[in-house]
Structure 1
Amino acid sequence: MASVRVAPARGPIWLRAGFVLGGLLLIAQLVAIMPVARAWMDRHATVNDALQDAIYLLAALLVAARGVRVRRDRGAWLLMAGGLTCYAAGTVYWVAFVAVLDPQPYPSAADAMWLAYYPFAYAALLRLLRARRSRISAATSLDGLIAAACAAALASVMFLSGFTFGGSALPAAVSLAYPIADIVLAGLLLGVWAISGWRTEPVWLLLLAGMGLNTTANGIHMFETTHGSYIPGGWPEVLWSVALAVIVAAAWTMPRPATARPPGRAVVGVALPAVLACAAMGLLLYGSWRDHVLPRASSLLAAAAITATIVRMLLTVRAVEGLADARRQARTDDLTGLPNRRLFQETLDRDLRRRDPAEPMAVAIVDLDRFKEINDSFGHHLGDRLLQLVANRLAEAFGNAGLLTRLGGDEFGLLLPGAGVDRAVEVVTGLLTALRHPFDLERVTLHVDASIGLAVFPDHGTDRSTLLRHADNAMYTAKSDHSGLGLASGGADDEDNGRRRLTTLEELRTGLDQGELVLHYQPQLDLATGLVSGVEALVRWNHPTRGLVYPDGFLSLAEHAGLMGRITTQVLDLAVEQCRAWRAAGLDLTVAVNLSTSNLHDPGLPEHVAALLARHGVPPCALHLEVTEEVLMRDAARATETLARLRALGIRLAVDDYGTGYSSLAYLHALPVDDLKLDRAFVAHCDTDPRSAAIVKSTVELAHNLNMRLIAEGVENEVVLDRLRGWDCDLVQGYHLSRPQAPDRLTPWLLQRQADALASAGGQLRNR
């Protein structure tokens, strides 16, 4: 209670004077019951009566002042002040008009005023509870019921034991009203405390203590009156006065700001319900041993408390089960049912803390090869089904060797406690063998391979981050050399691989800031006119020390790091700027730029492209944008919306690498595209492979039937070019025409090509 802060310590002087007067009156009350002062007080009964009246009235005034002056919980304290005022008025009325009569009437108006205190007290408690708990759960309600029923049962033993219902109706009803009111108040006090969450802040504890003392004093008074031992001015009067002082202190105690649940409150919240349930059980057992010793109401209330306790226990069991289930779900992968990354990390950390340095443990990372291609080609549904089958097969092959988890995507994690290098390699090799058997998926048979990186404690690290870094580097090594299994070296080479990837990524970020990206352009020939009508922009990174870095050296890293948006923005700006330069030089060319998945998911892309064209003064028809089927299949709805907005600007759109996607035909009728760009895998062999030739020829016809142009890439020789010309292909590009070149080298070639075409056209006109 050292943290209690009472506001009147700095309040107005009349308020401080009231508190000082209250303290003096309370001291006088305590002195009055001492044997030395008792005889004098008996001879001067009016002094004792005046002392009682003053204490009751002053308490009511101080609580009312709290309700008027302080806004917080104003309604509750005004209700409490109303109840105390009724109580004080009843005391004053009794002293002034009833105590002097002989015989004293019962009941009197004083009884009505005293009983009026209880409804006000009930309402004040409920108002305070509502301010602190706006929503009450079923479990909390049961806590309140247990506490209320048990408190009421114990109170009823005090108030109802020996009570007899006799005499005329009104006196008997009033006599019964007092114990019932106190029983209800006792139950409400403890019930409200339970529902409030067993709050232990000073305001709440003081109020409960004050009202509890008042109820206890009433019980003592009733007991003494029933047994004929009550003496005015005795201990009940002192307890009443102390109770009023504690209620006043509660009213003026300013609450502290809300903080985390203190440890004391947590202990109270666990211990008290158990104690109350045991007390209720004790009452029933006591009543069963001694017949008719307990009032029937006490037994019924105790039984209600125990029943509520049983129901509460059932709810607690369900809550614990739900918590365990939620914990399990939080550590379980939804798709495969395997433990997830969180459990993998927690288990690895725990094992590393407990592990003897002399006892090995292996950590492995499994990454499926070409899963992205499978997922994009056959759709996410089959991709997810494949992951489930892979998880089942891994679990079957792994058995009880350790912990198998899905880390995310197509990546799985393995923990092998007690396994050294040899044992770990044996287990992992078995997994690779199991995965290489074909998977049957909805009339499609797929062969899946994997790359596994292996690191062993303590050789390759003694903490989670080091072990996982080495395992990850080993996995990348296995993937790059197609060996399937990579073992961490723990040396400089292993560290260098991971460091090289991180360094490349950081250098790429710097390069984007410093404008190190450059474009090379590959011409596209219009077979109908024989003119170069456009070019495709291909990005290169002009690294300050490594020289020209091609896309396969940095684009995959950029995609994983979320840098594709920045790269495409710079590529678009460079391409449109170069297009303007060529047009200024008399070259009427279109420029094609590839878009990535992140670009199509950017709702601001169409506005950005429109602003870019306007800034450089290039017409929209001069810009062609290409998207791969892989990009379209990831989120067709959003991609279609973005493409439609771009096409509305007048920009021509093409599907790049056409023919590599499983659902190509399903998208064509809905996509707002103008061109199909046939993948080089079909074009390059159409002069020697009849199947490739059939695919190219039928795709040209398909494109024309859909009012689209067909662009063939990968033209490597004149024979292929002649065949494409014979099949009415629209545009071609490839090394046979020109390799991708920088603008300063390509521009002279383009100008010469244009001059030759014009000269040839002029000669033909003259010959006519």
Structure 2
Amino acid sequence: MLLVAQFVAIMPVAHGWMDRHTWVNDVLQDGIYLLAAALVAARGLGVRQDRGAWLLMAGGLSCYAAGTVYWIAVLVDLHPPPYPSPADAMWLAYYPFAYAALLRLLRARRSRISLPTWLDGLIASACAAAFASLVFLSGFTFGGSAASILVSLAYPIADIVLAGLLLGAWALSGWRTEPVWVLLLAGMGLNTTANAIHMFDTNHGTYIPGGWTDALWSVALALIVVAAWQTRKRSSVRGSTRAFVGSSLPVALACAAMGLLLYGSWHGHVVPRTSTLLAATAIAAAIVRMLLTVRAVEALSDARRQARTDDLTELPNRRLFQETLDAELHLRDPCAPMAVAIVDLDRFKEINDSFGHHLGDKLLQLVAARLGEALGDNGMLARLGGDEFGVLLPAAGVDRALQSATGLLTALRHPFDLEKVTLHVDASIGLAVFPDHGTDRSALMRHADNAMYTAKSDHSGLAVASEGADDDSGRRRLTTLEELRAGLDDGDLILHYQPQLDLATGAVSGVEALVRWNHPTRGLVYPDGFLSLAEHAGLMGRLTMQVLELALEQCRDWRAAGLDLTVAVNLSTSNLHDPTLAAYVATALSRYGVPPAALHLEVTEEVLMRDAARATETLAQLRANGIRLAVDDYGTGYSSLAYLHALPVDDLKLDRAFVAHCDTDPRSAAIVKSTVELAHNLNMRLIAEGVENEVVLDRLREWDCDLVQGYHLSRPQAADRLTPWLLERQAAQSPAPSTRVAW
């Protein structure tokens, strides 16, 4: 109502009446300023959200209102009014409060600001300040006392800073369009504009009290009040629109700053140096912002390429293969054939285990190159993962697909020369053809995968999917998976144990436990028949927990019978990715009354190298709980001294491939002996598996190996059969035995 009354008062028809009643305008001015400060203060006191910012704003408006009331009540009738006066101090006090309020609102909305956003803020603030300084400083002359000069300078400088801060804060907020932000910026911006108009009118002697400039100030206050009483809401503007605004506005502001510099170069005496400097700052920030944007675009392009490229072979990866297949199916004539092939190398794991992953990776690179050369321009080759490759033949029916697949097999069967080792590699290829074996990507991939497993199981090397139906191998795998789920529910897992011998004391120091699946119809199923399926189906975490429970229960029973044995459980990749593992293990130990020192956990080199950082974190938590850790199958993976130095492990377990022949093969003997020395130098124990005769046992004893196991000592047995054997050797057992659970 006060605002409407003020607009009515400045209408030409009301001039005569207002000239006779000047007190009305004074009351309107004081009322609007005081009411605005009171409403913003009420918002700050009554609503918790953004309270600090609005109390600061209320403080600034209160200073502004106090200055206005003092001016009208005391100074306006003086001729001339003093300058500077206490009213000037009150009006200038508004600015620090306004700056602080803006910064508090910005901090509440953006706790972290990236470097590009900082540059956007610098561009916006420098450009706004440049134009504000052009308005406020052009034609500014010094005169009067030192105090009057300082106050005269303070007003334009404060408004220049506020203009820069307003636009810069909007940029730093991510160009938000929520009502509270837009209204506040509009209100404070309009107040600065009114100040500029007032300064211009005052310099030219055209300012009229109670005129349109006073109305603009009042509207600015009203906008600030409305902004204060808005609730924080998510912006309704779409992300794409905000992205367009966020990219186009800095460009427009930089161009405006360039225009100001060009204008100043043509009219050097018109543009103040401050404006030129600020415009140059905006342009410099825009250049840096542009360089960062170019780098970001390049990085994004490279990331997209890498996301669709296999790092090892530089072939397209599974994602790009699937996207390409989807695109081909979308554009394909329903009657035009197309073939999908899946190529899987045979016995690749044996190569990795025997020669290490370094040579295995090199072999995959050579295989990729040879497959690409054999395929030529007839289709697309991709690495789907591990030792599995995908081939897309866009214009191939069954006959042509068989011909191409035969060519791939022929190419692979030539020997590969790798670091003085010649390897012969074979593969299994499964084919599925559109539309006979499916009309969508999922069906074609599934049928090709099932055909590949058929080729692998019957050793044919090449198989075509069944006409319009799932292969039996796929159904068998699904059946096995469901039976395994049921077996986990029914507790069908059992453990067999193989003793370990402490060569220093000649005592049995522990046992290695091996998991078996007691299938209700197939009998005893060994680990290679279900563990890989469990890993791919996401069941390894649950399976490992059951094995841990069985091992700890048996360890408790043995300790109750006077057999002071410890227990260890082998961890898989999925176990190391489980953040609750350490807590679960601690709870299980407490539940069975087994001390932490009695538990050993083992991981293979392959598991460690997949995610060394996460493995280190998880293993460190386990070790901090007093659990002993070991690297299993040492020597079959990367065998990197770097991870041995960094990982928190206590034992190395040397693979049987090196131990079994150390009595006849000088190279194996050298590897075993040097590995024992390495382990001891790292304050670790060495456990040798695969001891099959007395001669090997004597060699290991001669080389100071710590623990051994193998058929020469005992075959794996069920607990009820092994316990009497352990009791017979009770007198020779060490006080700190070791039990391990392996797959």
- Please classify the TM superposition score into its range, dividing by the shorter chain length: 0.7 to 0.9
* 1:4-43 pair list within 5 angstroms: 24-43=1-20
Confirm or deny that 1:197 pairs with 2:174: yes
Distance 2:128 2:513 in 1: 83
Contact 1:77–1:124 (CA<8 Å) still a contact in 2? yes
Q: CA deviation at 1:121?
A: 1.6
- Determine the structure 1 residue equivalent to 2:475: 499
Confirm or deny that 1:75 pairs with 2:52: yes
Confirm or deny that 1:140 pairs with 2:141: no
- Determine the structure 2 residue equivalent to 1:122: 99
* Unaligned 5+ runs, structure 2: 499-510, 562-566, 595-629, 663-667, 680-684, 726-743
Q: Deviations over 1:530-574 (max 9, x none)?
A: xxxxx9999986755667878776566456555664786799799
Q: 1:410 to 1:517 in 2, by over 3 A?
A: same
Q: CA deviation at 1:331?
A: 2.8
Q: 1:247 to 1:575 in 2, by over 3 A?
A: closer
Within the candidate set 194, 200, 212, 1:223 is matched to 200
SS of corresponding position for 2:344: strand
Within the candidate set 456, 463, 469, 2:446 is matched to 469
Distance 2:362 2:71 in 1: 86
Q: CA deviation at 1:85?
A: 2.0
* 1:620-659 pair list within 5 angstroms: 633=636, 641=650, 659=660
Q: 1:598 to 1:142 in 2, by over 3 A?
A: closer
Distance 1:453 1:327 in 2: 30
Distance 2:655 2:286 in 1: 70
SS of corresponding position for 1:134: coil
SS of corresponding position for 2:471: helix
Q: Deviations over 1:381-409 (max 9, x none)?
A: 22223223323333343344443322222
Distance 2:242 2:451 in 1: 52
Q: 1:171 to 1:486 in 2, by over 3 A?
A: same
Contact 2:659–2:689 (CA<8 Å) still a contact in 1? no
Q: 1:53 to 1:391 in 2, by over 3 A?
A: same
Identical columns (%): 67
Distance 1:556 1:144 in 2: 54
- Determine the structure 2 residue equivalent to 1:702: 699
- Determine the structure 1 residue equivalent to 2:385: 408
Distance 1:61 1:566 in 2: 65
Distance 2:657 2:438 in 1: 45
Look up the equivalent residue of 1:141 and give its one-letter code: W
Distance 1:88 1:265 in 2: 37
Q: Deviations over 1:270-325 (max 9, x none)?
A: 33223322333333444556664544443443333223222211111111112222
Confirm or deny that 1:239 pairs with 2:216: yes
* 1:256-271 pair list within 5 angstroms: 256=233, 262=239, 264-271=241-248
Q: CA deviation at 1:195?
A: 1.0
Confirm or deny that 1:455 pairs with 2:455: no
The more displaced of 374-383 and 359-368 is 359-368
The more displaced of 232-241 and 259-268 is 259-268
Within the candidate set 24, 27, 32, 1:55 is matched to 32
Q: CA deviation at 1:486?
A: 2.1
CA RMSD of aligned residues (A): 4.7
Q: CA deviation at 1:168?
A: 5.4
Q: CA deviation at 1:518?
A: 8.4
Distance 2:225 2:20 in 1: 31
- Determine the structure 1 residue equivalent to 2:486: 510
The more displaced of 560-569 and 35-44 is 560-569
Q: 1:110 to 1:540 in 2, by over 3 A?
A: closer
Confirm or deny that 1:88 pairs with 2:65: yes
Look up the equivalent residue of 1:434 and give its one-letter code: A
- Determine the structure 2 residue equivalent to 1:276: 253
- Determine the structure 2 residue equivalent to 1:46: 23
- Determine the structure 2 residue equivalent to 1:180: 157
Q: 1:597 to 1:478 in 2, by over 3 A?
A: farther
Contact 1:142–1:308 (CA<8 Å) still a contact in 2? yes
With the length of structure 1 as denominator, give the TM-score of the two structures: 0.71
Distance 1:544 1:107 in 2: 99
* 1:207-606 pair list within 5 angstroms: 207-256=184-233, 262=239, 264-288=241-265, 292-492=269-469, 494-514=470-490, 557=533, 561=537, 562=539, 565=544, 598=572
Q: CA deviation at 1:210?
A: 0.8
Q: Deviations over 1:300-354 (max 9, x none)?
A: 4333322322221111111111222222333333333333223323333333333
Q: Deviations over 1:145-177 (max 9, x none)?
A: 111122123323433344444565544443343
- Determine the structure 2 residue equivalent to 1:619: none
Distance 1:489 1:377 in 2: 36
Between structure 1 and structure 2, the one with the greater Rg is: 1
Q: CA deviation at 1:122?
A: 1.8
Q: CA deviation at 1:196?
A: 1.4
Distance 1:569 1:87 in 2: 73
Q: 1:631 to 1:479 in 2, by over 3 A?
A: farther
Distance 2:481 2:295 in 1: 50
Q: 1:387 to 1:605 in 2, by over 3 A?
A: farther
Q: Which has the higher contact order (CA 8 A, sep 6+)?
A: 2
Contact 1:628–1:656 (CA<8 Å) still a contact in 2? no
Q: 1:482 to 1:606 in 2, by over 3 A?
A: farther
Look up the equivalent residue of 2:166 and give its one-letter code: L
SS of corresponding position for 1:362: strand
Distance 2:121 2:648 in 1: 56
Look up the equivalent residue of 2:484 and give its one-letter code: L
Q: 1:71 to 1:515 in 2, by over 3 A?
A: closer
Contact 1:436–1:448 (CA<8 Å) still a contact in 2? yes
Look up the equivalent residue of 2:485 and give its one-letter code: R
Distance 1:606 1:31 in 2: 79
Contact 1:511–1:543 (CA<8 Å) still a contact in 2? yes
Q: 1:612 to 1:276 in 2, by over 3 A?
A: closer
Contact 1:402–1:417 (CA<8 Å) still a contact in 2? yes
Look up the equivalent residue of 2:34 and give its one-letter code: L
With the length of structure 2 as denominator, give the TM-score of the two structures: 0.74
Contact 2:687–2:708 (CA<8 Å) still a contact in 1? no
Q: 1:438 to 1:183 in 2, by over 3 A?
A: same
Contact 2:631–2:649 (CA<8 Å) still a contact in 1? no
Q: 1:139 to 1:538 in 2, by over 3 A?
A: closer
Q: Deviations over 1:23-63 (max 9, x none)?
A: x2112112111222222112111211121112112212222
Q: 1:448 to 1:93 in 2, by over 3 A?
A: same
* Unaligned 5+ runs, structure 1: 1-23, 523-534, 584-592, 615-626, 645-652, 679-695, 714-729, 734-739, 751-768
- Determine the structure 2 residue equivalent to 1:693: none
The more displaced of 475-484 and 167-176 is 167-176
Distance 1:106 1:639 in 2: 76
Distance 1:339 1:360 in 2: 23
SS of corresponding position for 2:396: coil
Query: How many residues are treated as equivalent by the alignment?
Result: 644
Q: CA deviation at 1:502?
A: 0.8
